[in-house]
Amino acid sequence: MSDNSNTSLITKALALNFLSVEEGMQLYHTLSLPELMSVADAIRHKLHPDNQVGWLIDRNVNITNVCVSACKFCNYYRGPRHKDAYITTIAEYQQKIDEMWALGGRQLLLQGGLHPELGLAYYSDLFRQLKQLYPALKLHALGPAEVHHIAMLESVSYEEVLKQLTAAGLDSLPGAGAEILVDRVRQLVSKNKCSAGEWLDVMRAAHKLNISSSATMMFGHLETLEERFQHFEVIRQVQSEKPEGHIGFISFIPWPFQDEGTFLNRHDGVANTVSGEEYIRTLAMARIMLPNISNIQASWLTVGKPVAQVCLHAGANDFGSIMIEENVVSVAGANHKFDAAGIQRAILEAGFLPRQRNQRFESIAAISAIGNNPG
């Protein structure tokens, strides 16, 4: 491709116009890493002219490890009658929330498997109990696959599920279960989970109700490069459909497949081959391809501190959570750790100012002491 062609596409991207899949792939293939980072960084600074990088304190608690999806990349799930199957009790939630509260966290990321016996009444009752116990608690809970599963169990619409959950205390929807939003890939890695269209339709319903959400992409397994760009395209399309004044997707988080001990690795021989450079290039393309999603998060949990710090110069403006607790990707090889001091120090080292935030990306009182705690 000619330099003139790339110049035209860069100009288009910097104007925050949508690039096609083919145009995005052209930039990915033909620009050097510094060039790609420069374009993404310029877009980031258009959307966020300050020099701040967001971070938050929350806790990722699994409602249950029982799941009938049997995704090939997940080591965490158990069958309904497995000896290790569990459903988290209210007493266990209280212990976990109290620990989070002591560290300054006010948000619970609540996820679980597709449990065949837990329906809308169960989740509504759970959310109400948690909000009664902790009125200031924010519930970032249940991804689209879980909402779809509940809707199928109850024979009701996504909208009805979301309305009842919101009435019970749901604040926002995580973007879990997206993997790659192309059905060819989903049939290979998570064939019992909702389809790409169903995932997207749950998010459409959430956005109509002005439930803010995040979007994710787990890549580096059986997808093609073109399918990664198709994933960007459908996420961007759903965001463009949200009602005027509604938040929609507030952030996008890409991370590489964690392969350690997974069925996909053991049985199918699929390994995570995403290098640091490939992750940075992919994150930069997320910023370029998704100009209508304000916040792009670097997944330090899966790629580590140094690569994530470089991503702050390649389009990312957020470092996500210190992850007091995370059970799913950590049992597949993601073992990086941060505390509040460490995450702030990492942001400062990269040349940015840390900004403690909530799920709606609103600034909250920052933890001021950085100290010498290990990061």
**Interval 321-333 mean pLDDT:** 56
Say whether pLDDT at 1 is over 60.
Answer: no
Sign of the Cα pseudo-torsion (183, 271, 263, 327, in order): negative
Contacts of 165 (CB under 8 A, 6+ apart): 120, 123, 124, 127, 141, 142, 147
Question: Partners of 62 in the beta sheet?
Answer: 111
Query: How far is 37 from 7, CA to CA, in rounded Å?
Result: 15
Q: Are 233 and 194 in contact (CB under 8 A)?
A: no
The DSSP code for 360 is T
The residue-averaged pLDDT of 2-28 equals: 94
Domains of the chain by range and CATH? Answer: 3-356 (3.20.20.70)
Structure pTM? 0.90
Q: State the number of CA atoms in the 13 A half-sphere of 13 facing the CB.
A: 32
- The string of pLDDT tens digits covering residues 115-127 is 888 999 999 999 9
Our CA angle for 347, 349, 351, nearest 5°, is 75
pLDDT at 259: 76
Cβ 43 vs Cβ 16: under 8 Å: yes
**C-alpha distances in Å from residue 312, one per residue of 28, 104, 286:** 18, 25, 13
**Sorting pLDDT into bands at 50, 70 and 90, what band is 270?**
confident
With contact defined as beta carbons under 8 Å apart, do 227 and 220 qualify?
Answer: no
Give the model's confidence band at 32: pLDDT under 50 very low, under 70 low, under 90 confident, else very high. Answer: very high
What are the pLDDT digits (tens) for 62-95?
998 887 666 665 666 676 677 778 899 999 999 9
7 φ/ψ angles, rounded to the nearest 5 degrees: -60, -40
Query: What CA–CA distance (Å, rounded) separates 304 from 73?
Result: 20
C-alpha dist (Å) from residue 79 to 70, 146, 213, 244: 9, 16, 29, 42
231 near 225, Cβ under 8 Å? no
Tokens of 373: 């705690």
DSSP notation for 124-193: HHHHHHHHHH-TT-EEEE--HHHHHHHHHHHT--HHHHHHHHHHHTEEEB--TT-S-S-HHHHHHH-TTS
Strand, coil or helix: 228? helix
